[in-house]
Amino acid sequence: MKRLILLLAFILPVHGNDTAINAGGFGPAPLGEFEGDESVIRMVSETIDVHFAKKESQVHCRFTFRSGKKSGDAKQVVGFPDLLHTDSDTGEISKLETFIDGEKVEAKKERGWFVTADYATPRSGLGDPPKEYPADQIQRADFFVVEVNFPPDKDVIVERKYTCASGGDVMGTATFYYTTHTGAVWKGNIGQADFHITLDGFTVDDLAFEDGRQKIPSRSQTTWCMPNRAEWTVVSPTELKMTWKDFEPAVHSTRRGIRLATWSKPPAGK
């Protein structure tokens, strides 16, 4: 991916599941309750609604959580990540709103980090990353953080509504990427994820699925949709939906996110 960015000036904003900060074992701050590498809180379900347009996209994420703590309330700093290309970036997310059980709350924006050396449970935190990690394994991010109280035997709903710049490249491809891998730090597996995509200015035929109707030769396409079209239900020419059940993003490599990408424009004269 880094090579593609350098050669094609490819910009792919990455946003993802609220993650439990800190992801295990890096000290008392920020606040969090963990058993090993995972939080004591489980993500029971998530619903991701995306309005995907060429210049910007609107996203509504709704996460349902349930505490697995045996007694008393669990407290957790919950951080919604906006991954960065460089340390000087300000991120791609704008107009973010946060709701806890339907009540609007103010999320604080703080710079932090991920360790991206492997595909196990992500390591993350706020501030500067630990020095023991090589620089090429660190992914910087802005986190929109809020402290959440999780009572026992009660669902807690966390919602994020935001606008973000859509990605693209010099070949005219428009892109959107949403990662679920950041949700691997929650307890056990994710019970269910529902994705609903509304296209604005595109149709489903404009999306570059490798198992779809080819619009240009494969070698001319700069990036592809993920997963394949066979996993999606086409509701209408401008709507798609898909459901994943009982998956662990740290283990299931095909359940670490979705990517939307339109067909690249063939070079002039071809």
Q: How far apart are CA 44 and CA 21, in angstroms?
A: 18
Q: Which pLDDT belongs to residue 66?
A: 95
Residue 269 lies in a domain: no
- Within-domain flag for 74: yes
pLDDT of 7 over the 60 cut: no
> Does residue 266 fall inside a structural domain?
no
Report CA torsion sign: 215, 219, 225, 228: positive
Q: Report residue 244 as tokens.
A: 């994943």
Determine, yes or no, domain membership for 141.
Answer: yes
CATH number at residue 171: 2.60.40.3680
270 located within any domain: no
Listed in sequence order, the DSSP H helices in the chain are 2-8
Instruction: Report helix, strand or coil for 124.
Output: strand
- The conformational region for residue 188 under phi > 0 = left, psi -120 to 50 = alpha, else beta, is left
In a domain, 267, yes or no: no
Work out how many domains the chain is built from and give that number. Answer: 1
Is the confidence at residue 11, as pLDDT, over 70?
Answer: no
For 74-111, how does the pLDDT look when each residue is reduced to its tens digit (9 = 90+)?
Answer: 988 888 888 787 766 777 888 899 999 999 999 999 99
Q: What pLDDT does residue 117 have?
A: 63
Question: 139 is in which domain, residue-wise?
Answer: 2-261
Q: What was the pLDDT predicted at 219?
A: 84
Give the pLDDT confidence of 101-138 residue by residue, as tens digits. Answer: 999 999 999 998 887 666 677 778 888 888 888 888 88
Residue 94: inside a domain:
yes
DSSP-assigned beta bridge partners for residue 197: 50, 240
Q: How far is CA 246 from the centre of its chain?
A: 17
pLDDT(34) > 80: no
Q: Is 69 in a helix, a strand, or coil? A: coil
Domain contains 218: yes
Cα torsion through 58, 84, 41, 156, rounded to 10: -30
Q: What is the pLDDT of residue 9?
A: 36
